[in-house]
């Protein structure tokens, strides 16, 4: 067996969810939403299953979905994409795998920014690429320009960026994106941009893609996911967008991974992207309200969180909260003693990483958040305010 997989455990999300189930804990660990339910999109999928083809759709995706993705990015992000520049994939995860398989040659160096989504490192290493991690500034999640400059070298070929960022819920300011664009053009790098959280940005902000910066249109692979846009994480419908020469290579890699994605789900996502802007806005508003509710509840317990500009996640700062446990100790104790599951941010970093940040998912029903807060309050009261 390949040592990358032989020596690896299950993901932190699987492990935490399993432990949460075993202990009857409220799961604020894994990032899936309780709602709202995208009824029209689900109905479109059910209808398509009965009324449309259930045979292999075109390898690059249903034309309706490719056109809908291109139009959605035109409307929401001011990008001018042609449908031919969109390849539909089985979730953003497959898009990431296809992009890395297509673009990395053995020995190529790939810059990632930590904390980083956990799939990046094993995918890069399995292509024979070499991971060059650059730590983001904490807790702001900004690009550390000195650290980036130190990581760039003659073998650097790619930069893999997640913005907005899971786990911290931060967004890069335009000045950082402009700096990354300059680095990519100066060093002739291709950027793979994982923007699955692009529709879940709060406080009236508008997502801007690295692809939109000078010199980036031809050197960016922009990855998105309907799972996040419509809160249907189990569907695994995603896509990757890139200019023609890149798109062709990506499609070649994709054709020998999953080849296609269920046609009824593709059809429904196309319908949703065309007709359901109202639902997406409503979902965003509900998540923002849930974020504010959880942050206020944690603050009332003396627990300090970082501002969450995007995603389903809010980050608890243990050090600022006066909690003298590491994030992993805190999360383990929290499941067992308080009955609430959360994710240690150090799981998103190669050792040593930050040890004082914990990720909570706030995209849950109000009653679930309130029960979690009540459990935390009871647990914290039992230990006094300065310790957990």
Q: Pick one of 166, 209, 260, 264: the residue that binds ligand PMP (CB under 6 A).
A: 166
Closest CA to 29 of 327, 310, 304: 327
Stretch of 20-28, 231-239, 260-268, 329-337 lying at the interface with ligand PMP (CB under 6 A): 231-239
Contact between 227 and ligand PMP (CB under 6 A)?
yes
CA distance linking residue 49 with residue 208, whole number of Å: 35
Structure-block tokens of residue 199: 């529709």
- In whole angstroms, how large is the CA radius of gyration of the chain? 21
Write each residue from 94 to 133 as x if it is in contact with ligand PMP (CB under 6 A), else as -, in one continuous string: -----------------------x----------------
CB 380 to ligand PMP: min, Å: 29
Contact between 209 and ligand PMP (CB under 6 A)?
no
Q: Pick one of 196, 229, 269, 376: the residue that binds ligand PMP (CB under 6 A).
A: 196
CA distance linking residue 106 with residue 349, whole number of Å: 23
Query: How far does CA 86 lie from the centroid of its chain?
Result: 19
Closest CA to 59 of 258, 273, 209: 258
- In DSSP terms, which residues pair with 240 in a beta bridge? 87, 223
Of 117 and 279, CB closest to ligand PMP: 117
Closest CA to 122 of 249, 290, 7: 7
Q: Which DSSP helix (H) or strand (E) runs through 28?
A: none
CA distance linking residue 193 with residue 77, whole number of Å: 14
CB 215 to ligand PMP: min, Å: 24
Query: What letter does residue 317 receive in the DSSP assignment?
Result: E
**Counting Cβ atoms within 10 Å, is residue 126 exposed (0-12), middle (13-18) or buried (19+)?**
middle
Contact between 231 and ligand PMP (CB under 6 A)?
no
Count of Cβ atoms closer than 10 Å to residue 49 Cβ: 15
Of 91 and 388, CB closest to ligand PMP: 91
Contact between 225 and ligand PMP (CB under 6 A)?
yes
Q: Pick one of 85, 114, 176, 194: the residue that binds ligand PMP (CB under 6 A).
A: 194
CB 100 to ligand PMP: min, Å: 13
CA distance linking residue 42 with residue 328, whole number of Å: 37
Contact between 312 and ligand PMP (CB under 6 A)?
no
Stretch of 16-24, 46-54, 85-93, 263-271 lying at the interface with ligand PMP (CB under 6 A): 85-93
Contact between 236 and ligand PMP (CB under 6 A)?
yes
Contact between 212 and ligand PMP (CB under 6 A)?
no
Q: Pick one of 61, 139, 238, 263: the residue that binds ligand PMP (CB under 6 A).
A: 238
Residues that bind ligand PMP (CB under 6 A): 31, 91-93, 117, 162, 166, 194, 196, 225, 227, 233, 236, 238
């Amino acid at each position: 067996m390949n040592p990358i997989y032989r020596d690896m455990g299950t993901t932190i999300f699987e492990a935490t969810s399993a432990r949460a189930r075993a202990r009857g804990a409220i799961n604020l660990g894994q990032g899936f939403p309780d709602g709202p339910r995208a009824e029209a999109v689900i109905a479109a999928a059910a209808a398509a299953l009965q009324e449309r083809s259930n045979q292999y759709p075109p390898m690059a995706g249903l034309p309706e979905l490719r056109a809908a993705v291109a139009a959605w990015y035109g409307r929401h992000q001011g990008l001018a994409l042609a449908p031919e520049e969109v390849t539909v994939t089985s979730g953003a995860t497959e898009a990431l795998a296809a992009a890395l398989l297509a673009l990395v040659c053995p020995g190529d160096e790939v810059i990632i920014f930590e904390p980083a989504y956990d799939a990046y490192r094993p995918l890069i290493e399995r292509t024979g690429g070499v991971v060059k991690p650059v730590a983001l500034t904490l807790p702001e999640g900004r690009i550390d320009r000195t650290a980036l400059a130190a990581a760039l070298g003659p073998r650097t070929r790619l930069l893999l960026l997640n913005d907005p960022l899971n786990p911290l819920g931060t967004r890069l300011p335009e000045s950082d994106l402009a700096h990354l664009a300059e680095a990519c053009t100066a060093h002739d790098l291709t950027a793979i941009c994982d923007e699955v959280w692009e529709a879940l940005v709060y406080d009236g902000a508008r997502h801007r893609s690295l692809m939109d910066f000078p010199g980036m249109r031809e050197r960016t692979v922009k990855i998105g996911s309907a799972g996040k846009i419509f809160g249907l994480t189990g569907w695994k419908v995603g896509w990757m967008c890139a200019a023609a020469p890149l798109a062709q290579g990506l499609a070649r890699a994709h054709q020998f991974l999953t080849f296609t994605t269920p046609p009824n789900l593709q059809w429904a996502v196309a319908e949703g992207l065309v007709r359901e802007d109202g639902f997406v806005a409503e979902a965003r508003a509900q998540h923002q309200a849930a974020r504010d509710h959880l942050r206020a509840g944690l603050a009332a317990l003396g627990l300090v969180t970082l501002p969450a500009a995007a995603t389903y996640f809010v980050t608890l700062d243990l050090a600022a909260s006066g909690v003298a446990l590491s994030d992993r100790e805190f999360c383990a104790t929290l499941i067992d003693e308080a009955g609430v599951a959360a994710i240690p941010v150090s799981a998103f970093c190669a050792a040593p990483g930050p040890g004082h940040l914990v990720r909570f998912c706030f995209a849950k029903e109000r009653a679930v958040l309130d029960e979690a807060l009540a459990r935390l309050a009871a647990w914290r009261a039992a230990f006094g305010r300065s310790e957990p």
